[in-house]
Structure 1
Amino acid sequence: MKTSEKPSLLSLRRYSLWAALLLVFSCSPDTVLNTEEPLEAANAKSKNAVLKTLVKGAPLNGANGVDIGPDGNLYIASVYGQEIIVMDKNSGKIIDRITEGVQSPDDLVFGPDGSLYWTDIITGEVGRRTPDGIVTKQAFLPGVNPIAFNDEGRLFIALDFLGDGLYEFDPDLIDTPRTIIECPTGFCLGFFNSFDFGPDGLLYGPLFALGQVIKVNVETGDFEIVASGFVNPAAAKFGPDGLLTVLDQTGEVFKIDVTTGEKTLFTTLEPGLDNMVFDEDGSLYMTNNDEGWVAEILPSGKARILSPGGQIMPQGLAVLAGPNNKDVVFTADIYNIREFNGTSGRQTEQYKGFLIPPPGVFSLPLSNGISAAGSDLIISSFLSSTVQVWNPTDGVTEDFGTQVEAPMDAVRINTGEVIVSDLVLGGVVRMSDNSLVAPLVVASGMATDGETVWAADWATGDIVQINFGGGSPTTEVVFSGLSFPEGMAVDNQGRLLVYETKGPSPAGVSRLSRIDLSTGERTTIVDGLEPLQGSLPIFPPQWFMDDVAVGPSGDIYISGGESQTIQKITANKVR
């Protein structure tokens, strides 16, 4: 059997270390909210609302595996949405969202009896939902991803990204899976992704990390290369023409004659392509994870969009001054840094991050946090375990990937030093000497005026103030009793803005608060916000962190992860 060398990966490491963090917030008492303070309440859902939707994102939090059900509808897996979407394949109308037993679905398929099967890639479970709605699951290994039946009704699943290898499963999800290709070190195959059985009974699919398409004898585990020269091929399916259609995350779609290995470019679409399925009539449906769209690919190669794309998980926000000192808004959207006009909301630029960078490319990470530092942006990524200093013109100028573990946010102070809030490292860490300067139970958002840093503790509801003006940093808790605080910013009057969320507590709230640091008074600027809710055992307890940022104009920008929006409060609306 041929083997593969391990590629250079952006690390998706240390997930297991985060599992211990669950004990912190699942066993902690509910946060006690301070209700004795005077409030200026402005309800986001009232007719006097101060919020304006500046950017509306995709309806889906990313679109992954796809299949056509016995009812003729599309069934679409969404890892970060933690759901399976049922969609009319003609109109794109969302008919249902399946969430029972669904944790992190990356791929799915219907079995011979009409049961829906899916793979929860992060939790390592395989799920089954029978036609009468009974859900059963089998625990296996993190990384379960591509899933397919052969003509005999046998079920096959491979591991990707969090593992590697190929297995045959019992369709009843009872018996122990049979090992076909095992990778004891976690990598030996190359991340065998969404695959399909050919007319010869062999299993054809792409090796995501190696840029190859292979065919596998599922009885012996022997395999050989069919085609190569791809970047990150993610799916391979046979069409009615007998050719193997292969999509690359670059946006390229190829047709391969598996008898000769001849490869022909069929069409080029947006980067981020994830999966596809052919209907019985030969129609081709495709998903894009990075953009969240679902489309029918016409014979001409053009995409007929069924469900539109856009930002899928707006998280960290930062604002720079653009031409005429107009606000330019940047958001961390996992696979992209997106740039928007702060007045119109129009997307003006898009900068790609990679799960696995193409060979020779030093890319942006999978981003979750972002903050402004002069003309630079500081990007943090717990998914890629890195912090980078990046400039839209000059690219990445500094990388702290060897010094951090699970960074949630990062800022730069006047000395030029980068300060990071890191879940696994236990709080606020300075990058100059890797010292822990402020322990936090659950590290969360940060803000700075250049000399002082404020850091939120998501678990305790505390705001810790760290002064870097002298020799050794000094710390003190300047506010307590907030509800699971996430993103923070300093407004143009030097007051602290804090995005409070519901978290797991029934007493939690969803509001933007302002803290006058000179008096300690907290004021509600707006409530009824829509932060993204979700959880997984090996993810940060915040799931994904919502944020707030202030522009040179004084306007306030808020991410709404639940609705995939960026919202805006103009300066003249804030009292």
Structure 2
Amino acid sequence: MRDKPTDLTNTVHKGRADSGLNLFKGFTLMLVMTLTVMGFDSVVDEQTGANFNGETSTFDSAIDKKDQNSKVLVKEIYTGAHIKGANGINFGPDGNLYIASVADQEIIVMNKQNGKILKRLGPTNGVISPDDLAFGPDGSLYWTDLYTGEVGRMTPEGVVTKQFVAPGVNPITFNEEGRLFVALAFLGDGLYELDPNLIDTPRQIIASTPANPLLGFLNGFDFGPDGKLYGPSFAGGFLMRVDVGEPGDPTSTDPFGDGTAEFVADGFTVPAAVKFDSEGVLHVLDQTGEVFKLNTVAGEKTLFIKIQEGLDNLAFDSKGTLYISNADFGSVVEILPSGQPRTISGGGMIAPMGMAVLPGSNNRDALFVANLFRLYQLNGLTGREEYVYKGDLLGGEDNLTTPFTLSADGENLIVSSYFGQVVQVWNPQSEQIIDTYQMGVPIDAIRFKNDIVVSDLGLGGVVRASDKAMILPIDNTNVFAPSGLATDGETLWVADWGTGIIWQIEFDGDTPKPAVPIVFGLNNPEGLAWDKEGGLLVVEPGESRLSRIDLENGDVSIIADGLNLSGPAVGLDAALPPTYLFDGVTIGQSGDIYVSGGGKNVIYRISKK
């Protein structure tokens, strides 16, 4: 969006906003539908994990339980960010920095000087999927739970109350009069005023529908000296201001036509948040890494600083110092008077999930890791980052999606994303999409018999990507939640997260034979990999371990335990798939095994001693 729009209601649907509209329609459908996997109780188990601290550790291998001399080496070859994506930030009355993290399911209280984490407020405190936060006049902490659609309040005494608004509730702020406002983004679109006590029914200021997202996902916003609300259209690429009116005013269904909202400036790529400093100067943050100062009268912007891509939100402390959060890399930085960033909390991978190996240079494994907003390529020996590819949160058709799982496909990768609702065949050399398959809620995908097989909770089981033909249906009796997939080219294996069963499916040509359970009782199995030695590797997040199934007799042995894995989401059973942040496994050319340790944001390499 380059020129000043004459019809913002139509403009917000164009270009990048089209992608946002698709995401809005699809993911809202996924959020509100009753997933077939809800026929079982989710396991809520806090992973303790092993404290390797980057050092090599030795575990007894149970591949042959009689051979006590058999051992493997487990090493962390990569360590990522301390935070699983830093979203909304704000300073509390105590002077500490409060950081919302949707993926981490917590609000982190951090010392702004040294980055020390002082406190974590999570599901036990009622914090489920916090995207933004603010402090009320009485010092109460307020936050928005994106997936559940609730706004939470924690008083200075620690009393928590919550109110449902709508799925996608995202930015939150107070005006000078102590009135509370929130908006919807990604899973909805619209603007509301709330009772600060979270009792009275929310007042809808601007109405919106999935077919007509009027604001293009109004994101991190702030009130200006003129008393109006300023915020960015995340999908539209422009900045707006809104007259929030008075309680009792009618809901606007044509905000840019009736004067409720007006255009301020455009020319942004993905504007994510705005804040006024103590001098009344508006700062606009773009996910490109750019931060602009904006003249709100003339609409002219000036580049203030440019730092790492993936920015999410910003806040000024009591001295006027600017702090910025990064959603893609999980970092938090302070901007020094010189304009240089000082790292408060370092970045890196925020949610390592599915993995795949392609041949690398000098016979080294090129290890690819799905990481929510980015796809990483690592040196399999050293863990060194070689390339980091950007996923498109808004779902552009020609762009790499937000990657959750990966599998090798010749020189390509098969990428699946339940957030993007697609499976893609993607070439890392050319960074081109080869094929795209629109799916429901895809969990994993692999090449099988000249097609791609997908475990898809939205489509009701394991299906072929080409025609959605069913291979293993969810019946809520024997099959509840298909997750990881593996094959030797002739046989297909499917992990069921809900029952702990591993299913084996033989084929008569292209026709699947009845599925046969070969293993029972695994704890939330996710990533699968065929090891070419008559075994099947399986990640068990419910037990914090990697196991091996002997395909000859079905015996299960432990390869490595005490792994710090992601585990299921807490309190999000009806909103997200039970696999949540998928824990993956893959095997290198040398036979080394790689496991994603999402609980600690690490990559493990497991090799024979």
Aligned to 1:391: 427
2:147 equivalent in structure 1 = 122
Aligned residue number for residue 73 of structure 2: 50
Pairing partner for 2:200 from 175, 178, 181: 175
Instruction: Quote the residue 1:203 is aligned against.
Output: 229
* Conserved? CA contact 2:427–2:434, under 8 Å: no
Would you say the 8 A contact 1:143–1:161 is kept in 2? yes
Evaluate the alpha carbon distance shift between residue 114 and residue 165 of structure 1 in structure 2; reply closer, same or farther with a 3 A threshold.
same
1:321-374 Cα distance to aligned partner (Å, 9 max, x none): 11122111111001000010011111110010011157xx72111111101112
1:505 matched residue in structure 2:
none
Q: How does 1:72-91 map to 2 (within 5 A)?
A: 72-91=95-114
Determine if the alignment matches structure 1 residue 98 to structure 2 residue 136: no
**Residues 162-241 of structure 1 mapped to structure 2, 5 A cutoff:** 162-185=187-210, 187-219=213-245, 222-241=260-279
Partner of 1:486, secondary structure, is: coil
- Per-residue Cα deviation, 1:195-243 (whole angstroms, up to 9, x for no partner): 1111111111101110001111111761111110111100011123432
**2:326 is equivalent to residue 288 of structure 1:** yes
Structure 2 match to 1:412: 447
State how 1:561-572 maps to structure 2 within 5 Å.
Answer: 561-570=598-607, 572=608
Partners in 2 of 1:271 and 1:476 — Cα distance? 47
Q: CA deviation at 1:520?
A: 2.1
Selected match of 1:542 from 576, 579, 583: 579
2:354–2:583 contact (8 Å) kept in structure 1? yes
**2:283 corresponding residue in structure 1:** 245
1:562 match: secondary structure: coil
The match for 1:527 is 561
CA deviations on 1:7-30 (whole Å, 9 max, x unpaired) are 2125234323554345322289x9
Shift of the 484–357 alpha-carbon distance from structure 1 to 2, 3 Å rule, reads closer
- For 2:432 and 2:508, the matched residues in 1 are separated by 28
Bigger shift: residues 460-469 or 246-255: 460-469
The answer as to 2:505 corresponding to 1:466 is yes
The number of aligned residues is: 550
For residue 405 of structure 2, the aligned residue among 363, 369, 375 is 369
Using the size of structure 1 for normalisation, the TM-score is 0.92
Distance in 1, matches of 2:9 and 2:287, equals 23
Rounded to whole Å, the distance in 2 between the matches of 1:297 and 1:334 is: 26
Q: Evaluate the alpha carbon distance shift between residue 458 and residue 552 of structure 1 in structure 2; reply closer, same or farther with a 3 A threshold.
A: same
Instruction: Verify the 8 A CA contact 2:173 2:222 in the aligned structure 1.
Output: yes
Q: Is the 8 A contact 1:293 1:307 kept in 2?
A: yes
Match for 1:16 among 31, 38, 61? 31
Aligned residues of 1:41 and 1:524 also touching (Cα < 8 A) = no
Match of 2:462 in 1: 428
CA distance in 2, matches of 1:49, 1:243: 58
- 1:383 & 1:547 partners in 2: Cα distance? 17
SS at match of 1:485: coil
- The equivalences for 1:262-277 within 5 A come to 262-277=300-315
Kindly state the Cα deviation for residue 264 of structure 1 after the two structures are TM-superposed: 0.9
Q: How far did 1:50 drift? A: 2.6
C-alpha separation in 1, matches of 2:91 and 2:126:
20
- Cα distance in 2 for partners of 1:196, 1:369 equals 37
Counterpart Cα distance in 1 of 2:294 and 2:64: 63
3-state DSSP of counterpart to 2:38: helix
Q: Percent identity?
A: 51
Q: In the alignment, which of 126, 135, 160 is matched to residue 135 of structure 1?
A: 160
Decide whether the 8 Å contact of 1:452 with 1:469 is kept in 2: no
Deviations 1:236-265 (A, max 9, x none): 111234321101111111110112111111
Give CA deviations for 1:88-147 in whole Å, capped at 9, x if unaligned.
011111100011100100000011100000000110000000011111101110111111
CA contact (8 A) 2:353 2:596 kept: yes
Q: Which residue of 2 aligns with 1:486?
A: 526
Q: Secondary structure at the match of 1:50?
A: strand
Structure 1 runs of 4+ with >4 Å offset: 38-42
2 CA distance for matches of 1:322 and 1:83?
Answer: 38
Instruction: Report deviation, 1:189.
Output: 1.5
Letter in 2 for 1:428: V
Q: Which residue of 2 aligns with 1:330?
A: 368
CA distance in 1 between partners of 2:192 and 2:490 (Å): 55
1:426 and 1:443 in contact (8 A); partners too: no
Whether contact under 8 Å (1:156, 1:167) holds in the other structure is yes
Which amino acid in 2 is paired with 1:543? Y
Alpha-carbon distance, 1:180 to partner: 1.1
Alpha-carbon contact 1:426-1:441 (below 8 Å) kept: no
Report the equivalent of 1:553: 590
With 97-106 and 417-426 compared, the bigger mean Cα shift is at 417-426
The DSSP-based 3-state class of the residue aligned with 1:215 is: strand
Taking the aligned partners of 1:162 and 1:433, their CA distance within structure 2 comes to 28
Kindly state the Cα deviation for residue 39 of structure 1 after the two structures are TM-superposed: 6.4
Report the secondary structure of 2:108's partner residue. strand
